[in-house]
Structure 1
C-alpha cells in the first residue's frame, strides 16, 4: 500500500516505485475510484502508475467497481482507456454496485493481454467448471449499458443529494463535534469526530448503544485511534435523515 496524504490526495511516486522495485512484488491491485478515500485518479497519475508497473514487471489490475459514482462523472478515467497491445494490465468490474445486482453472480474484465485471457478462460473451465457466461448475467449487463443511463444519472443525483444533506445537517446541528467533506467518488462518506476530542472506542460504543446505529469505524482501514466513521448514503432519504438524528442523539449524549 502506498501513501495518499489526506489533504492533497496525490500519488506518492517515490514510495510506490520503491514498492514495485521489491523482488517479492509481482502484482499491484489498483482501486479506481479509490475506496475508501473516494479519490478519483487523474489520467497523468494512471499513466505514471502504469509506467512504474511496466518498468518493474509488475502486473497491474484495476478494480473499477465504483466507476459509476464519480462527481462530476466526466472526471473518471478508466485504465482501460490507456491500455496498449500486450500490456500487463487488466481492468475488472461489474454491476453489483451501480445496479444493485449482487444477487446475479457476475463480473467481467478488459485486457489486451492475450496470455492472461487464455489462462483465465482455461482456469474457469478446468478449475471451476464454468465454460460459458450466465445468459441472465449477460442480459443484465447488456440492458444496463444500453438502456439504463438515465437511471444511473438519477441515482447519482440522489446520492449527491444525500451527501449534501449530511453536510448541511452537520453544519447546522453538529459542527461542535463533527466535520464532513463530500467525497469525489463512491457512495461512502467519512465523517470526522476529531473536533469532539473523544476517543474512537467511546464514540463507536455510544453510536451502537445510544444511537442504535452501526457504522464502519476508521480503524478498519487505518490506525486504531482513527477518528472517523463511514456513512453509507446509498439509501432512501428517510433512512439518511433517521441516521443523522441517531448520530445527533449520540453526540449530544456524549457532550453532556
Structure 2
C-alpha cells in the first residue's frame, strides 16, 4: 500500500530550505513559502527512475507513445478533457511557456490582462517582454474571491487587450472557478478575439467540494485558447522540468513550433519524461493521500487561527495547497516583513508579490508539509504578535 513519506529536506540542495539565505537573507527561517512539497514522490516514480539509472546510458531519448497516452488518459479520466496527441507540445515549465506564448501571440506594447492578486511570474513575464500589464482585480463577495466580469469586458475594450492569462485553480487565492465563471470570461475573449493562456498547473490539487473544470471543455474556444499544465505540482516533480502545452489551434501550433525551432528547443530531459509518465500511470493512490493530508493541514491551520488569532482572515482553499491569509487586523502593511520574517522567523510568500501594495497585509503559506510545521507557523505568529 502506497505511503506518503515526509522528508526533512535541509542540506539536500533544496531551494525551499537551503535557498533561504539567498531569497530572504536569513537561513534560520521555517520554510513555508514556494509551491514545493516536503513529501517523497510516489514509489512508481522512484522505481521508473532507478530502472533508467541502472541502464547506465543517458543519450538522446525517443519519447514513446506511452508518455503521451499516460497524459491523455489522465486528462480524460480526471478532467473530462479529451486531448489529441497532435495538440501536445513540450515546455520545461509553465512559466517559460507563458513567456514564449507572450512573444508568439503578442507584439511589443500590446496589452495583456491578468487578475490580481495572482502568481507573480505573470506580471514579470509581461513586463520583461515589454508588453503593457492590464489589471482586472478579483473582488471579494461574502469572503469569496470572484471575477469582475463587467470590469473584465470594459478593460478588454478600453485597453485593446490582446491576451488574457487565466489562473485555474487560482494562485494564490485558492478559487476553483465554476463552469459559468469560466464561460463568462472566455465568451468575452472569443467576442473580441483575445487569446487566452490557461495556467492549470494546480488542476489536480483540489480539496474542496467543487470539482475543477478545465477551461477548454466549457465551450468552443480552440482558436484562441492554449492550456498549460504539468505533473510538477501534482507529484512534486518541479526539478524534472517537464510541462505540457496543449494547442488545439493549428495556426498557433505552427507559430509555437517555428518559435521553438528557432531556438532548437526540440525536446526535454529524459528523466523528466520518465518520471512524469510513471506518475500519471501509477501515482493516483499517492495523490489521493496527499490531498487528504493537505486538507487536514488546512483545517487544522484554520482552527488554530480561530483560537489564537481570530481576526486573521483565512480564505477558503478550494484548490492548490497554498493558503491565502490576511493578517491586516494585527500587522500594519509596512511591518509585515519585520514581524513575520524577522520576529516569527517564518519564510512566506508575501502578499505584495502577487499584485502590489494593496495585498501587503497578506501572506501565502505552503501546506504541503508535515502538520507540525503548520502548527508551528501559527504558534510563531501568535508569539511574535504578543
TM-score above 0.5: yes
> 1:1-256 maps to which residues of 2 (within 5 A)?
1-7=135-141, 8-22=144-158, 24-72=160-208, 75-82=211-218, 84=220, 86-127=222-263, 129-175=264-310, 177-196=311-330, 198-224=331-357, 226-252=360-386
Q: 1:85 to 1:10 in 2, by over 3 A?
A: closer
Give the secondary structure class of the aligned counterpart of 1:97.
helix
Distance in structure 2 (CA, Å) of the matches to 1:88 and 1:179: 37
> How many residue pairs get matched?
249
Mean CA deviation greater in 18-27 or 36-45: 18-27
The aligned counterpart of 2:118 is: none
User: Does the 8 Å contact 1:164/1:182 carry over to 2?
Assistant: no
Give the secondary structure class of the aligned counterpart of 1:90.
strand
Q: Deviations over 1:148-190 (max 9, x none)?
A: 1111111111111111111111122222x53423321111112
After TM superposition, the score normalised by the length of structure 2 is 0.60
Give the secondary structure class of the aligned counterpart of 1:103.
helix
Structure with higher RCO (Cα < 8 A, 6+ apart): 2
Q: Deviations over 1:80-129 (max 9, x none)?
A: 323647421110111221111111111112231011112212222222x1
After TM superposition, the score normalised by the length of structure 1 is 0.88
Distance in structure 2 (CA, Å) of the matches to 1:109 and 1:51: 22
Q: Deviations over 1:44-77 (max 9, x none)?
A: 1211222111111111110001111222375200
Give the secondary structure class of the aligned counterpart of 2:165.
strand
The aligned counterpart of 2:9 is: none
Question: Structure 1 regions of 5+ residues with no counterpart?
Answer: none
Question: Structure 2 regions of 5+ residues with no counterpart?
Answer: 1-134
- The alignment's C-alpha RMSD in Å is 2.1
Distance in structure 2 (CA, Å) of the matches to 1:56 and 1:203: 41
Distance in structure 1 (CA, Å) of the matches to 2:265 and 2:188: 35
